[in-house]
Amino acid sequence: MSLIVQKFGGSSVANAERVMNVAGIVTDTYNKGNDVIVVVSAQGDTTDDLIEKAKEINPHASKRETDMLLSAGEQISISLLAMAIEKLGYPVVSLLGWQAGFQTTSAHTSARIKRVVPDRIKKELDQRRIVIVAGFQGLNRYDDITTLGRGGSDTSAVAIATALHADLCQIYTDVEGVYTADPRKVKKAIKLKEISYDEMLELATLGAQVLNNRSVEMAKKYNIELEVLSSLTKAPGTLVKENAKMEKMLISGVAKDTDVARISVTGIPDRPGLAFKMFAKLSAKDINVDIILQSIGRNDTKDISFTVAKSKGEEAVAILQDYINVIGAKEVLYDDNIAKVSIVGAGMESHAGVASKMFEALYDSHINIQMISTSEIKVSVLIDKNDADTAVAAIHSKFFE
């Protein structure tokens, strides 16, 4: 008998028909003698709808009350799925995040899991119940409900698998696995049988929407094997593990991210410590900075450009406007009409010319590169947002066709 954690995204439970379909998948797994824990996201576009409702009432609502609202989506999903499984005649119980033992930090709307105390889950499993847990949510030390940010249900599933030493963590979505590009955009995208944690982590961080990057990071840390597969077909999925076989592939995928903004601070006095203080101010507000480019100093000044998530753009600009007035820099420029397109692959470490091949594909498509960032297994470029889909298709064709 194995312990299996199954996570279902919002599209998998979007309507009554799909909820019943998920109930069938779960009970099939249970019938094979397994203990089953199910983690569920809010149905379809429920979270976006709730955000819009909040804006109608108060566009500047507190993050605490936002969490209280957004957590309702998962509560609806788990109860409906439990009802569906009851209808099929199986023992089942649904639990909110705090009932399942999720203890988090107090950073509302972007909380981090501190620990999972799964005592209640264990008791329910001992009674051979299927346990359904609300993903995305937990409880802080003040007994306030918190949420984990977009894609947080993936992280919830991996955290439960870690806490209970599960044999497998399955992530069900609306695609059949991890592809070399988004199969909904690139028709010739190839499904991978396996991919390493490091490659998957890069792809998830760079915009691939199959898995949340925090969930992959946790799976790698605790060596939890993941399987990404579709809830709509019975096709085999993609295994995400430590040592994946990626023979004869220079890269494992192409990803795009349009939720990105570029900020440039110009005319910064060329003296030590100013860049450190600038990024420290952003870090203090939980604003993550990605690609960074600093110009060669001229006339005793320098320019620094970097990217942030678009949702953090206005806040970052406001912080920097105050800062440049203190240090005497020239201005802060902001542009969110951009996209980040990236290639990822362990094969890049041992093969020369991978970056130039990517740049050639962009050149052939008359796409201008604005910024470049590289590491051992990835190359990212900033381009005009309107060119993003064309760029992904061109790069994928250059490497895979």
CB atoms within 10 A of CB 242: 11
- Say how far apart CA 40 and CA 141 lie, in whole Å: 24
Q: Which of 29-43, 274-288, 351-365 has the highest mean pLDDT?
A: 29-43
The single-letter code of the amino acid at 292 is I
Q: How far is CA 219 from CA 193, 240, 359, in A?
A: 18, 9, 33
pLDDT band at 251 (very low <50, low <70, confident <90, very high): confident
Give which of 52, 102, 88 is closest to 73, Cα–Cα. Answer: 52
Beta 130-134 vs 113-116: how paired, if at all? unpaired
Comparing 258 with 329, the larger pLDDT belongs to: 258
At residue 248, does pLDDT exceed 70? no
Tell me the range of 157-171, 245-259, 310-324 where mean pLDDT is highest: 157-171
Cα–Cα nearest to 310, from 348, 279, 337, 343? 337
CA 145 to each of CA 46, 159, 358, 389: distance values in angstroms, whole numbers, following the listed order: 18, 17, 45, 38
> Which of the residue ranges 116-125, 320-329, 370-379 would you say has the lowest mean pLDDT?
320-329
pLDDT reported for residue 300: 82
Instruction: Give the pLDDT confidence score for residue 366 in this predicted structure.
Output: 96
Please state, rounded to an integer, the average pLDDT across all residues of the chain. 92
Residue 401 CB coordination number (10 Å): 7
Closest CA to 124 of 90, 80, 156: 90
Tokens of 281: 């101010």
d(CA 69, CA 338): 31
Say which residue, 351 or 164, is predicted with more confidence: 164
Whether 157 and 63 have beta carbons less than 8 Å apart is answered as no
3-state DSSP call for residue 283?
helix
pLDDT digits (tens, 9 = 90+) for 137-165: 999 999 999 999 988 999 999 999 999 99
Residues in the chain: 401
User: Is the per-residue pLDDT at 244 higher than 80?
Assistant: no
User: Does residue 64 surpass a pLDDT of 90?
Assistant: yes
Segment 65-104, tens digit of pLDDT: 999 999 999 999 999 999 999 999 999 999 999 999 999 9
Predicted structure pTM score: 0.84
Q: How far is CA 190 from the centre of its chain?
A: 21
Lowest mean per-residue pLDDT among 210-219, 234-243, 321-330: 321-330
Looking only at the bridges linking them, the beta strands covering 35-40 and 3-8 are parallel
Residues 6+ apart with CB under 8 A from 25: 6, 172, 231
Q: What is the pLDDT of residues 197-225, one digit of tens each?
A: 999 998 888 877 788 889 999 999 999 99
Q: Which helix (H) or strand (E) holds 303?
A: strand 301-309
